[in-house]
């Protein structure tokens, strides 16, 4: 009370109301910032991280520098993919193989995209135990698994050994004649 009478005798208003308002505002602002700082990690944890987003994202592969007979290795979703440009001889030879000679019958046309017979895109792991077969090895112009002896022809069809099925084909589409997108099938025409 002494402060009130002193302020009345000097004719100035007491600053208590102003200080009280300031303290309420400062406390409220500090509390809002604190709540935001505590809530931010919880909100941010609900969004997928960059590695997860990138893991499922399609990749583009430029086919221009790949020469006839060359095999290029790329990775999509952490898996090895072989991109191979078949020679004219390989295309002719692979088309001529009767399905009755294949362990896992698949016609040539089912292994490549229509109109792009010279391009093969397959997963790069043996279907027996997941070893990485070596290109241009074996008796069939394709791949040979050094671990257990499986052999694949130039379009990834199993021809010999313990591998039970052909090298699988990942989802992919031609964006142009010189570029493919692995991880995305071609969109159907409407």
Between the alpha carbon of residue 169 and those of residues 81, 122, 127, 179, the distances in Å are 9, 4, 12, 17
C-alpha 181/C-alpha 59 separation (Å) is 6
Residues 6 or more apart whose CB falls under 8 angstroms from that of 151 comprise 137, 138, 139, 140, 142, 143, 144, 145, 158, 159, 160, 161
CB 176 within 8 A of CB 64: no
Catalytic site residue from 116, 128, 136, 148: 148
Q: Do residues 157 and 126 lie in contact, with contact meaning Cβ atoms separated by under 8 Å?
A: no
- Dihedral sign from CA coordinates of 77, 133, 159, 68: positive
Examine the residue annotation and report whether 116 is marked as an active-site residue of this protein. no
Q: Cα(135)–Cα(86) distance, rounded to whole angstroms? A: 12
The residues annotated with a catalytic role in the active site are 148
């Amino acid at each position: 009370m002494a402060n009130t009478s002193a302020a009345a005798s000097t004719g100035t208003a007491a600053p208590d109301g102003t200080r009280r308002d300031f303290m309420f505002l400062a406390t409220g602002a500090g509390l809002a910032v604190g709540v935001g700082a505590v809530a931010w990690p919880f909100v941010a944890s609900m969004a997928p991280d960059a590695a997860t987003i990138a893991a499922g994202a399609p990749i583009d592969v430029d086919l221009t520098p790949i020469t006839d007979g060359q095999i290029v290795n790329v990775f999509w979703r952490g898996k090895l993919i072989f991109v191979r440009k078949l020679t004219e001889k390989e295309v002719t030879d692979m088309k001529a193989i009767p399905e009755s000679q294949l362990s896992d019958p698949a016609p040539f046309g089912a292994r490549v995209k229509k109109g792009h017979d010279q391009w093969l895109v397959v997963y790069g792991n043996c279907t027996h135990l997941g070893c990485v077969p070596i290109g241009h090895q074996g008796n069939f112009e394709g791949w040979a698994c050094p671990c257990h002896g499986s052999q694949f022809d130039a379009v990834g069809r199993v021809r010999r050994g313990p591998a039970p099925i052909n090298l699988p084909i990942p989802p992919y589409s031609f964006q142009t004649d010189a570029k493919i997108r692995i991880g995305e099938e071609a969109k159907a025409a409407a």
